[in-house]
């Protein structure tokens, strides 16, 4: 039995309770969690914006130590430190055949499986494949990436979603070049990672935008050269800061129609907007045909940072070891499992960076 955060049904509060976690079967690995990040995607699962089978153990951004392996597992052994990969690619579907592993159509198939049971025997699903909001979890072998040497295991949890997403948004989707101007909308966990990635890419001016004035210090530590408190004049404020032109690139990390539209309007003619935030179906973004032609801007979606985690994690590890990427500065709160509901409330209020569940 291990303690875990269980979502009994969409719209229901999380229950912190004991679950019966079996030993790993063929091709499976049991991991003792060191830490798990509290991501907005977890909140989106609780309210139905994103749907997975329930009841489920949530949590998808985590790192830990292998404690047992099932038959046929060859890539890791007990004692190995690993990062959880919540969206493993199958390698055989059409997107995978094109090298677009972040769009794998089979990536979330594991979320429908039954991986554990409640104390009274009810079936439990593994959230976004990996069920990181638990003291231990059992995952498929391809849901693990060995942690490169020299990376603190606790902070490495952030590599499983926020950092890969923010880094990929800058380097793979927007393809920011040295000297370009960048605006980042939302200074939560993913936004802070995006700001750091923009700094690493050599962006000349990096403008952070958030509804909370209190996040300015966090944003500037991450690399922001300017800070704008979101308002009805945000696009004008950004153009004023950029000589009247707008930025070369905008990255939207919120997932709201008004923010996506504002990010697009904040870029220069020919600018590039990457949308990382996950919004609901009710969030409709509209453009007229003439402005699409006139401004020549591009708007692109971005899934998991358009990353190949196995290839990108060693690159990120090098940035961490060199001091270019600081994981600790992204963490605004360290909590226990019992603190996850309050961390959700903090996210809804637009406060803080990343809350980290430490086991």
For residue 250, being part of any structural domain is answered with yes
Q: Is the pLDDT of residue 44 over 90?
A: no
For residue 238, being part of any structural domain is answered with yes
Domain tally, the chain: 2
pTM of the model: 0.95
The reply to whether 39 and 149 lie within a common domain is: yes
pLDDT, tens digit, for every residue of 164-182?
A: 999 999 999 999 999 999 9
pLDDT, tens digit, for every residue of 55-79?
A: 999 999 999 999 999 999 999 999 9
pLDDT reported for residue 333: 95
> Kind of pairing, strands 354-358 and 28-38?
antiparallel
Q: Is the pLDDT of residue 341 over 90?
A: yes
pLDDT, tens digit, for every residue of 194-240?
A: 999 999 999 999 999 999 999 999 999 999 999 999 999 999 999 99
Buried-state track 309-325, b at ≥16 Cβ within 10 A, e below 16: beebbeebbebbeeeeb
Q: Is the pLDDT of residue 124 over 90?
A: yes
The reply to whether 218 and 296 lie within a common domain is: yes
Which residue in the block uniquely carries the two structure tokens 């969690």?
33
Give the mean pLDDT of the chain.
96
The reply to whether 247 and 336 lie within a common domain is: no
Looking at the chain, the whole-number percentage of residues with pLDDT higher than 90 is 93
Residue 156 DSSP label: G
Q: Which of 331, 279, 304 is nearest to 158 (CA)?
A: 331
The CA distance from 340 to 356, in Å, is: 9
Q: Is the pLDDT of residue 88 over 90?
A: yes
Q: Which domain holds residue 98?
A: 2-159+327-358
Q: What is the chain's percent helix, strand, coil content, to nearest 5?
A: 35, 25, 40
What's the CATH code of the domain at 46? 3.90.180.10
For residue 309, being part of any structural domain is answered with no
Number of H helices, E strands in the chain: 10, 18
């Amino acid at each position: 039995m291990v303690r875990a955060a269980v979502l009994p049904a969409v719209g229901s509060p999380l229950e912190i309770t004991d679950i019966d976690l079996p030993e790993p079967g063929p091709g499976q690995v049991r991991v003792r969690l060191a830490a798990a990040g509290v991501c907005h995607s977890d909140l989106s699962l609780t309210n139905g914006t994103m749907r997975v089978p329930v009841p489920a153990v949530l949590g998808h951004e985590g790192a830990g130590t292998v404690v047992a392996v099932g038959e046929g597992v060859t890539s890791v052994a007990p004692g190995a430190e690993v990062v959880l990969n919540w969206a493993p690619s199958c390698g055989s579907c059409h997107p995978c055949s094109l090298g677009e592993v972040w769009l794998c159509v089979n990536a979330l198939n594991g979320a429908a499986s039954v991986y554990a049971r409640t104390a009274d025997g009810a079936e439990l699903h593994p959230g976004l494949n990996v069920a990181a909001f638990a003291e231990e979890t059992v995952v498929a072998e391809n849901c693990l990436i060995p942690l490169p040497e020299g990376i603190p295991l606790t902070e490495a949890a952030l590599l499983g979603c926020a950092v890969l997403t923010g880094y990929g948004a800058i380097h793979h989707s927007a393809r920011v070049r040295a000297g370009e101007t960048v605006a980042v909308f939302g200074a939560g966990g993913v936004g802070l990672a995006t700001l750091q990635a923009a700094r690493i890419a050599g962006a000349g001016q990096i403008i952070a935008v958030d509804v909370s004035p209190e996040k300015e210090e966090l944003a500037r530590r991450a690399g922001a050269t300017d800070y704008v408190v979101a308002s009805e004049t945000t696009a004008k404020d950004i153009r004023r800061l950029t000589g009247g032109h707008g930025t070369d690139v905008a990255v939207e990390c919120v997932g709201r129609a008004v923010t996506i539209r504002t990010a697009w309007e904040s870029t220069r003619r020919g600018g590039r907007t990457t949308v990382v935030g996950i919004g609901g179906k009710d969030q409709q973004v509209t453009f007229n045909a003439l402005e699409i032609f006139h401004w020549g801007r591009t708007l692109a979606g971005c899934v998991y940072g358009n990353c190949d985690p196995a290839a990108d994690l060693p690159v990120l590890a090098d940035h961490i070891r060199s001091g270019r990427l600081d994981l600790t500065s992204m963490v605004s709160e360290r909590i226990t499992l019992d603190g996850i509901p309050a961390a959700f409330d903090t996210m809804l209020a637009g406060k803080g960076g990343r809350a980290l569940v430490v086991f």
